[in-house]
Structure 1
């Protein structure tokens, strides 16, 4: 064999090897996948790497939401397994259902589950981008700068994690996904967001007072309505005596007769209150009854105050007889209407058939209600608030400050040095005391009401908040009623609030203890804010539905399989 033949064979092998290496390199970088389109419209397309980004974004957001809850492994579909983050998504069964009639089993992997959500996102992006093209909306320098910043953050995280940028992107979003693909999908996302903001701005401008009034009246059942009323419950109780006690029968009979007499008295009281025609008369008579029952002036005043319910919102799915009456749409209540609602437990005495009686514990209640203002809109303005949060979990059983830092560590250490317990509550009170000691809190008396309250300058509160709070925000603007947890909301929407007021003690919530700051009222009122949000959302959804129906999206289903 001529030597040149052997040389050609060697060269041929090297060429094939070189081509194979080149193919592998191009494939791993997504060069071939980038040419594979999963979904496209007339002017836009989403390639395999771009769709991979959407799928794994869904995955990462899901994991971030549930991984610290303690029950991530229990979330699964029927017949499926919990998610294992160390295994490929396509190798894990999310659900497996067998049709009893046909015997056919349908299996969905965890990849399928996230892919379904990603497909919805892709459809929305394509529809909105086509609308942006139609409206002549395009990205500007600021938009591209946002994308550049996002890429730079990825580069930072890659370096921090010991990856190259390309390696980090592939690890996060799937094999074949590169920076070019990220930029492409980010540009579409930015454009879609811009289009959405433009349309939402148009719909918000179109939510005129006339439309808001009309929408509220047509959707009362979906919007918050309130009732103002006074109510008090009289309770008669019967406690039976054990049959083993001496003279049990006579003692039970005596207690039973007293119970029946008490029921008659309380029913008469409730009926007398129900006969009142003004709120003043109702309140005065209730005060008399409370004093007759031995309540001192302070206790009676507090009970009277608790009996007033202003802007009371119906409890969802409530079976309460009182709420059904107050919020009835068939027979709406009117101002000054009254009602007595009687409830009785098991009978306290029953004939046992042996010339005697059996006695058991029982009670009867008489709830009387006086309507101050029937079903109405919430006319209160939105509120602005500041808070400094100390989380319960952070300070639970804290014995040293090694895990704390900054001003929080100093404050906690000062408590420990004084031999005091460190908790979220004691930390909040210690900070309030510190603010007073540093002269930042003053006591002000309202000349109109005579009420005293604590005041602090907003900038001073901001400084303390930024140093101590465990929330990402110190201030919140335009807070709607019910947006925050109950006790937080109750403090904020109390009619007693004064601008720049700081709470003298911390407010307890399910999160921890909050030092509250009242930053005044906003411009919008609650019912309009709620109606505006729902009306603009309804307008947007109707617009998007029409756009979606008019937009032709071509899907190449087989290319889904190319997502790693």
Structure 2
């Protein structure tokens, strides 16, 4: 295998999807990630590849008796490793299906001859933008983490053996049910089980390979969960307080408002001339492009300079909202239908002022919606004390509603709450600096026009940022949530689960009973959930507004088309406490895994690994 130099982007959303995708019948037990991923992925991947299914003749006997990875008591054969490897590839292909044409990978050919980052036939190799850098082939890209995962799996299996841990009858039954599910899926496709599996995972891979991997994973997961629980249970309140006091900056947060804008000469040229402009066209209209470039820079400088002079957050926010409301009003006003007769300039200015003032007042008051721009007295439409024709009044209201929608989006962007410290970030260093207080302002300006209004193209870019602290560094005492959920493939199934739950006693036990009865694709209970962790806005919005004991009265539709049913079980610990405990647990657990890795030797046959069909 090639040496890994992987710098992967964080896969928070992917991890969440994996968490809720497969069945986990009991919190802290059942099948964990390796098994859930491998068992369920075979079905999805085989369906995905059904158009190219073919019966493969190789029986895999030789590969099944070759062991690329092994420990004293456990071993993974070449066919088992092929299964794990293909699972990794298939999951990747599913996750990035909309972007594969822009990556250098071609999953229809051997990945061993395809170098990561080399342009494909169409000239694309955009994977580095999505995934980060990596040195090696696409085979290496997938096989490296597959081998590391398999090695860790066997380490935990060895530790389980040392502790006398075995799989219970219920755990073995769960695996048997999953294996039966594969058989049923093959039957639905009118294929033999062997053809169904080998078509997706390589010649020679058989159901017994999946069964063996499932059992290894289940045992490893059982041991890992036990170690994690032991480690977590050993953490004391004194441990948490000491850890927090030693590095408050790692757990505290700040609130602030800001405005930032950048202007690129090239972007302005595209705006003026179109995306396919030539150098000759740019030269011909250089004055026009420069004038637009200057206009944008001066506008950004003006509002940023005004904001930096504000001495309170309230003044800062009002000035920012006023600027944005005016901008959105002008943009929407310019779109007004030509069928509508516009008022004279004096009346138009009065209307604009009144509407903008109302918009700013409503957004500051945190209203979810703004009132109509007009009042109606009989057949009369009145806006800003001006009687207007019905068409014009309705157009003004249309402008107001569109502008308010934009302001609501901007409020989420420019008013930031509970921002954690980010290492090596210039703003974070300033915001968390000792002595920082509310209403402190940070201003930064760079590029063309930074020190003069006589703007010419020098660097070809301009950027300005202005920040004001609304709440200086503080401990986040927000209460986390314990929440149970079920995930369904169809809306009708999700609705049926809600109806069944609502018809009986509302409790965690009842929710779990419904989950067992309705057989969702996943169900579990999450303790100490911090809002935002899953990055699922619809779920977070519901949970933030819910009271303990409430449940989703309608399914929440997720981005992948599945349906979530949730129940707010109880309040958890304070957010800062959860984060500190998590840090301690991670440090201690990692140390234990390191010790176990040294205790249980894993042997990797690199040649056998490289011989896996890729």
Bigger relative contact order (CA 8 A; separation at least 6): 2
- 1:552 aligns with 601
* Contact 1:498 1:518 survives alignment (8 Å): no
Relative distance call for 1:200 and 1:119 in structure 2 (3 A) is same
SS in 1 for 2:180: helix
- 1:482 aligns with 532
Q: Does 2:430 match 1:313? A: no
Q: Does 2:107 match 1:84? A: yes
Relative distance call for 1:297 and 1:493 in structure 2 (3 A) is farther
SS in 2 for 1:159: helix
- 1:359 aligns with none
- 2:473 aligns with 375
- 1:339 aligns with 440
| TM-score, normalising length: structure 2 | 0.50
Relative distance call for 1:163 and 1:324 in structure 2 (3 A) is same
Relative distance call for 1:472 and 1:332 in structure 2 (3 A) is farther
Shift of 1:172: 2.7
Shift of 1:493: 7.5
Shift of 1:122: 2.0
Query: Partners of 1:505 and 1:88 in 2: how far apart?
Result: 46
Relative distance call for 1:300 and 1:500 in structure 2 (3 A) is farther
SS in 2 for 1:383: strand
Between stretches 46-55 and 514-523, larger displacement belongs to 514-523
- 1:336-372 deviation line (CA, Å, top 9, x unaligned): x54355789868988xxxxxxxxxxxxx99977564x
Q: Does 2:224 match 1:118? A: no
Q: Does 2:233 match 1:216? A: no
**CA RMSD, aligned part only?**
5.6
The residue correspondences of 1:16-165 to structure 2 (distance < 5 A) are: 28-66=58-96, 68-69=97-98, 71-76=99-104, 82-85=105-108, 87-90=109-112, 92-95=113-116, 108-165=136-193
Relative distance call for 1:57 and 1:507 in structure 2 (3 A) is closer
Paired residues, number: 395
Decide which structure has greater strand share.
Answer: 1
* Contact 2:255 2:419 survives alignment (8 Å): no
Query: Partners of 1:72 and 1:265 in 2: how far apart?
Result: 46
SS in 2 for 1:58: helix
SS in 1 for 2:440: strand
Relative distance call for 1:551 and 1:505 in structure 2 (3 A) is closer
Name which of 500, 521, 530 aligns with 2:579: 530
Query: Partners of 2:555 and 2:491 in 1: how far apart?
Result: 22
Shift of 1:125: 1.8
SS in 1 for 2:68: strand
Query: Partners of 1:473 and 1:55 in 2: how far apart?
Result: 24
Shift of 1:94: 2.8
* Contact 1:502 1:518 survives alignment (8 Å): yes
* Contact 1:56 1:172 survives alignment (8 Å): yes
Relative distance call for 1:304 and 1:388 in structure 2 (3 A) is farther
Query: Partners of 1:492 and 1:405 in 2: how far apart?
Result: 18
- 1:235-283 deviation line (CA, Å, top 9, x unaligned): xxxxxxxxxxxxxxxxxxxxxxxxx9x9999999x45x69xxxxxxx89
- 1:122-181 deviation line (CA, Å, top 9, x unaligned): 211221111111111111211211221121111112112222112223223222222333
SS in 2 for 1:94: coil
The residue correspondences of 1:295-444 to structure 2 (distance < 5 A) are: 300=361, 302-303=363-364, 311-314=417-420, 325-328=430-433, 331-333=434-436, 338-339=439-440, 371=471, 374-383=472-481
Structure 2 unmatched runs, 5+: 1-56, 119-133, 260-301, 323-352, 367-410, 455-463
Query: Partners of 1:343 and 1:32 in 2: how far apart?
Result: 66
Relative distance call for 1:484 and 1:194 in structure 2 (3 A) is closer
The residue correspondences of 1:504-543 to structure 2 (distance < 5 A) are: 519=568, 522-543=571-592
- 1:171 aligns with 199
Query: Partners of 2:163 and 2:106 in 1: how far apart?
Result: 42
* Contact 2:485 2:566 survives alignment (8 Å): yes
- 1:422-459 deviation line (CA, Å, top 9, x unaligned): xxxxxxxxxxxxx9xxxx9xxxxxxxxxxxxxxxx999
* Contact 2:258 2:415 survives alignment (8 Å): no
Query: Partners of 2:72 and 2:64 in 1: how far apart?
Result: 18
* Contact 1:39 1:47 survives alignment (8 Å): yes
The residue correspondences of 1:277-288 to structure 2 (distance < 5 A) are: none
- 1:207-261 deviation line (CA, Å, top 9, x unaligned): 22222223334454544x22357x799xxxxxxxxxxxxxxxxxxxxxxxxxx9x
Query: Partners of 1:62 and 1:536 in 2: how far apart?
Result: 30
* Contact 2:87 2:201 survives alignment (8 Å): yes
Relative distance call for 1:559 and 1:114 in structure 2 (3 A) is same
Relative distance call for 1:559 and 1:302 in structure 2 (3 A) is closer
* Contact 1:73 1:84 survives alignment (8 Å): no
* Contact 2:114 2:137 survives alignment (8 Å): yes
SS in 1 for 2:205: coil
SS in 1 for 2:190: coil
